[in-house]
């Protein structure tokens, strides 16, 4: 959900009139009454909420005609500013529709990772929760305990957990698995991850060659690795995976399909009862056998491929997302007129703005600033 009672109060404080669709907050435990008390007007449906809007705050991109029950896009008024996780990659159709509809669109997941933008960083706020939740998903289907237990009836060994990808989600998964008492190791292709993994009490597993030492972009993201590196990495991972009880996959490369790190043979090498939770499922999966949106069992190994894992911890996901939105919107609002005043030269604006003035303007998606 894109607003909580708390964020409505802040938006009202910015001078906005806030309109919420009835029932929209129920999945995140926010009632219509709570929105009303915070100062929002609650209207019966999406069409009423969108009518006359200057700014539209959404979680995901609006659906186009034929995609769902409602053609949300056609309900957004011309000239309105749309802010959300718009997933512009490989979606030229939506971009063209925003441009044609005269919509000023901003993709929140493109917020640059600079200090000033940390409070707007939706990838971090959601990945952190997803990493935590992934471990709980694993624990709930794993037929054994995580911590070592020494009991009168005998000793229960600790679970062995491997976390693949030690970004925001992976580091939280490591911390959560450690809190539950597991023996944790983790892998990443960015050298900076090594110290972070070790500082959480996990061991670091990676092929640390020359390519690895240079494998981080200026923005702090992973680069796509060479075929040679991936082969060496796969051999090391194969050896590691077969000793694990739980594998938590979080490896992503912005704008690309997720790298496949756990192949069919690796899954088959795992002990029956083992669990793989693939947070990369929506982007194709880090495990070759993952079925996005499904939990499957393959020769005794459970592979959890839930989509939208932050949505499985919806109240906190909404609370943090709503705060990210307020933080993003605040500098776009003119303090005197209370209207929008977008500074087209600001680094956060140029990094996130997809369409403006009827055109695609983002250079990463075929647009140009002029
Ligand atoms: P992400 O979600 O894009 O990817 C998750 C992890 O997968 C990354 O650590 C990546 O290196 C790793 N990965 C990619 N390919 C891999 C492979 N083949 N094998 C193993 N691991 C692989 O990453 P993220 O969580 O968004 O974090 C990316 C970086 O941005 C991190 O350095 C993070 O600390 C940094 N960050 C900075 C800020 C800030 O400065 N404001 C905020 C958040 C994150």
What pLDDT, on the 0 to 100 scale, is given for residue 370?
A: 59
d(CA 235, CA 55): 50
Q: Are 21 and 46 in contact (CB under 8 A)?
A: yes
Nearest residue (by CA) to ligand 1, atom 11, is 222
Note the Cα 139 to chain centre separation in Å: 21
253 lines ligand 1 (CB under 6 A): yes
d(CA 251, CA 281): 10
d(CA 328, CA 134): 28
221 is annotated as an active-site residue: yes
> How many whole angstroms from 58 Cα to the centroid of ligand 1?
25
Which residue among 121, 188, 245, 278 is the active-site one? 121
d(CA 37, CA 211): 56
Which residue among 118, 198, 203, 226 is the active-site one? 118
pTM of the model: 0.93
Q: Are 276 and 266 in contact (CB under 8 A)?
A: no
How crowded is residue 225: how many other Cβ atoms within 10 Å of its Cβ?
Answer: 18
- Sign of the Cα torsion 219, 224, 226, 231 reads positive
pLDDT per position as a tens digit, 145-189: 999 999 999 999 999 999 999 999 999 999 999 999 999 999 998
> How many whole angstroms from 230 Cα to the centroid of ligand 1?
17
**Residues with Cβ < 8 Å from 160, sequence gap 6 or more?**
182, 183, 184, 185, 243, 244, 245, 246
pLDDT per position as a tens digit, 225-274: 899 999 998 999 999 999 999 999 999 988 889 999 999 999 999 999 99
What pLDDT, on the 0 to 100 scale, is given for residue 369?
A: 62
> How many whole angstroms from 165 Cα to the centroid of ligand 1?
7
> How many whole angstroms from 47 Cα to the centroid of ligand 1?
38
d(CA 98, CA 91): 11
- Determine the 3-state secondary structure of 212 from DSSP: helix
Which of 252, 260, 278, 310 is the pocket-test mutation for ligand 1 (most atoms within 8 Å of CB)? 252
Task: pLDDT tens for the chain, 370 residues: list them.
Answer: 899 999 999 999 999 999 999 999 999 999 999 999 999 999 999 999 999 999 999 999 999 989 988 999 999 999 999 999 999 998 999 999 999 999 999 999 999 999 999 999 999 999 999 999 999 999 999 999 999 999 999 999 999 999 999 999 999 999 999 999 999 999 998 999 999 999 999 999 999 999 998 887 777 778 888 999 999 989 999 999 999 999 999 999 888 899 999 999 999 999 999 999 999 999 999 999 999 999 999 999 999 999 999 999 999 999 999 999 999 999 999 989 999 999 999 999 999 999 999 999 999 998 876 5
What pLDDT, on the 0 to 100 scale, is given for residue 221?
A: 79
124 lines ligand 1 (CB under 6 A): yes
User: What phi, psi does 191 have (nearest 5°)?
Assistant: -60, -30
121 lines ligand 1 (CB under 6 A): yes
């Amino acid at each position: 959900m894109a607003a909580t009672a708390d964020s409505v109060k802040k938006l009202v404080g910015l001078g906005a009139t806030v309109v919420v669709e009835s029932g929209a907050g129920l999945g995140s435990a926010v009632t219509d009454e709570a929105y009303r008390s915070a100062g929002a007007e609650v209207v019966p449906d999406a069409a009423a909420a969108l009518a006359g809007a200057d700014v539209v705050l959404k979680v995901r991109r609006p659906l186009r005609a034929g995609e769902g029950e409602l053609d949300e896009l056609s309900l957004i008024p011309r000239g309105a500013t749309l802010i959300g996780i718009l997933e512009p990659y490989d979606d030229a159709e939506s971009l063209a529709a925003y441009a044609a509809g005269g919509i000023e669109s901003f993709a929140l997941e493109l917020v640059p990772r600079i200090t000033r933008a940390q409070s707007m960083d939706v990838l971090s706020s959601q990945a952190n929760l997803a990493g935590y939740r992934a471990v709980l998903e694993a624990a709930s289907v794993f037929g054994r305990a995580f911590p070592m237990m020494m009991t009168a009836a005998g000793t229960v060994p600790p679970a062995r957990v491997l976390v693949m990808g030690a970004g925001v989600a992976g580091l939280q998964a490591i911390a959560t698995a450690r809190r539950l008492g597991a023996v944790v190791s983790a892998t990443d292709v960015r050298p900076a991850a090594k110290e972070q993994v070790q500082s959480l009490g996990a061991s670091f597993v990676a092929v640390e060659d020359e390519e690895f030492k240079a494998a981080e972009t200026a923005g702090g993201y992973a680069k796509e690795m060479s075929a040679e590196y991936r082969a060496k990495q796969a051999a090391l991972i194969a050896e590691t995976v077969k000793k694990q009880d739980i594998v938590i996959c979080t490896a992503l490369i912005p704008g690309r399909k997720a790298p496949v790190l756990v192949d069919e043979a690796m899954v088959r090498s795992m002990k029956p009862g083992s669990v793989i939770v693939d947070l990369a499922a929506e982007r194709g999966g880090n495990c070759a056998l993952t079925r996005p949106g499904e939990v499957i069992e393959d020769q005794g190994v459970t592979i959890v491929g839930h989509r939208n894992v932050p949505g499985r911890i919806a109240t906190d996901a909404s609370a943090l997302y709503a705060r990210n939105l307020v933080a993003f919107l605040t500098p776009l609002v003119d303090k005197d007129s209370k209207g929008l005043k977008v500074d087209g030269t600001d680094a956060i604006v140029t990094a996130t703005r997809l369409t403006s003035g009827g055109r695609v303007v983002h250079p990463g998606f075929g647009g140009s600033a002029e």
